[in-house]
């Protein structure tokens, strides 16, 4: 791509004052922690299960929905416009396709997300409203991650889950990006073109560390959810298509008291009360 080629020289000229360099530096330690979460280690060892991946997709759906809605809404904001690449980067449609592949047509009714995912989305919506200049921190964390380690993880996931074609793995494919490395260079140079005051710059850097933290919390919650519910997740209850995804409080098993059991218990309590009343009388 012509635009990607043009950025090669720009990338070579980057300095320590560049946002792209600073953001990479401040999130270095968080990146290592993210890589070492149980969920990411399962990916790297080629042991990711279908259940793990399906659950991750549900959370990614919620996160990208919030992120991309906020980016779209703020696309003319001076802190967003330079890094706004919906045609190349948008993930929501790809995730929807994958969810349909794994969960079937009624996938919207089956989405389950942990509390940490709701927290992450809440933060995205909050900064979209109050401080759109911070969105770059979140877009960087997710999209550059997807274009970096994410590319390898996609290939590993395909093998681990025994998928014969790339069906169910649209999330990892970026048809609008011919070279992830060149595109990342373009993205970095666009990040560096955003004009920020010292205070805003510090805010963006802090937000990037927070973005990694929110991702780590999602991975940890997903893992806890899996160990608590084991195979029960597949039988999760249905929702109307317009209702938001079900949130699970972690830790804690999902227990649904059967209505019949509740009726029997109620009858038992009523009988006991009446018997006690007669006895006292
Ligand atoms: C199994 C887990 C992961 C592996 C193996 C992995 C691996 C990598 C690799 C090899 C790079 C390229 C480094 C470079 O070009 O210098 C990279 C970059 C990146 N990764 Fe990851 N990653 C993982 C998880 C994550 C997660 C969970 C996130 C965020 C949620 C993330 C965000 C990023 C970002 C933002 C970059 C771009 C860094 C930059 O060039 O500024 N990664 N990752």
Residue 274 maps to a domain: no
Residue 147 lies in a domain: yes
Quick check: is 126 in a domain? yes
Considering the domain boundaries, does residue 109 fall inside one? yes
Q: Determine if ligand 1 sits within 6 Å of the CB of residue 141.
A: yes
In a domain? residue 22: yes
- For 88, the domain range is 2-255
Cα 268 to ligand 1 centre (Å): 58
Average per-residue pLDDT for the chain = 85
Burial degree of 267 (CB within 10 A; 0-12, 13-18, 19+): exposed
Say how far apart CA 94 and CA 61 lie, in whole Å: 9
pLDDT of amino acid 164: 85
CB 98 within 8 A of CB 57: yes
Q: Ligand 1: distance of its center to the CA of 194 in Å?
A: 22
Q: Is the model's pLDDT at 271 over the cut of 70?
A: no
pTM of the model: 0.82
As for how many domains the chain has, the answer is 1
- Whether residue 64 contacts residue 142, with contact meaning beta carbons closer than 8 Å, is answered with yes
SS3 readout for 73-129? HCCCCCCCHHHCCHHHHCCHHHHHHHHHHHHCCCHHHCCEEEHHHHHHHHHHHHHHH
Q: Is 281 among the domain residues? A: no
Give the C-alpha separation, 270 to 279, whole Å. Answer: 14
Instruction: Please indicate whether residue 211, judged by its CB atom, sits closer than 6 Å to ligand 1.
Output: no
Contact status, residue 174 vs residue 147, Cβ threshold 8 Å: yes
DSSP state of 214: H
The answer to the question of residue 158 being in a domain is yes
Torsion of Cα atoms, 48 then 111 then 151 then 13, to 10°: -130
Chain segment 162-193, per-residue pLDDT in tens: 998 889 999 999 999 999 999 999 999 999 99
Q: Is the Cβ atom of 82 under 6 angstroms away from ligand 1?
A: no
14 C-alpha vs ligand 1 centroid, how far in Å?
19
pLDDT at 70 over 70: yes
Mutate to test the pocket of ligand 1, among 27, 124, 148, 211 (most ligand atoms within 8 A of CB): 148
Q: Report the residue among 31, 53, 190 best suited for mutation to probe ligand 1: largest number of ligand atoms under 8 A from its CB.
A: 31
Q: How confident is the model at residue 247, as a pLDDT?
A: 65
| Residue 269 resides in a domain | no
Give the CATH number, domain containing residue 98: 1.20.910.10
């Amino acid at each position: 791509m012509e635009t990607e080629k043009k950025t090669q020289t720009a990338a070579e000229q980057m300095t320590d004052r560049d946002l792209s360099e600073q953001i990479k530096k401040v999130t270095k330690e968080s990146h290592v922690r993210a890589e070492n979460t149980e969920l990411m280690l399962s990916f790297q060892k080629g042991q990711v299960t279908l259940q793990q991946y399906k659950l991750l997709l549900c959370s990614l759906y919620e996160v990208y929905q919030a992120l991309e809605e906020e980016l779209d809404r703020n696309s003319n904001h001076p802190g967003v416009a330079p890094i706004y690449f919906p045609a190349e980067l948008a993930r929501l449609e790809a995730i929807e396709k994958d969810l349909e592949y794994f969960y079937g047509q009624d996938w919207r009714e089956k989405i389950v997300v942990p509390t940490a995912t709701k927290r992450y989305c809440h933060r995205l919506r909050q900064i979209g409203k109050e401080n759109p200049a911070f969105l770059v921190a979140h877009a960087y964390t997710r999209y550059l991650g997807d274009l970096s380690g994410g590319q390898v993880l996609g290939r590993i996931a395909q093998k681990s889950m025994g998928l014969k074609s790339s069906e169910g793995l649209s999330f990892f494919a970026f048809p609008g990006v011919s070279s992830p490395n060149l595109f990342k260079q373009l993205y970095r140079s666009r990040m560096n073109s955003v004009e920020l005051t010292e205070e805003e710059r510090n805010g963006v850097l802090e937000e990037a560390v927070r973005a990694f933290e929110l991702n780590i919390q999602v991975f940890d919650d997903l893992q806890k959810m899996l160990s608590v519910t084991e195979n029960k997740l597949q039988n999760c209850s249905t929702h109307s298509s317009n209702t938001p995804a079900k949130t699970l409080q972690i830790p804690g098993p999902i227990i649904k008291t059967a209505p019949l059991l509740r009726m029997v218990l109620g009858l038992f309590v009523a009988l006991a009360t009446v018997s006690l009343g007669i006895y006292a009388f």
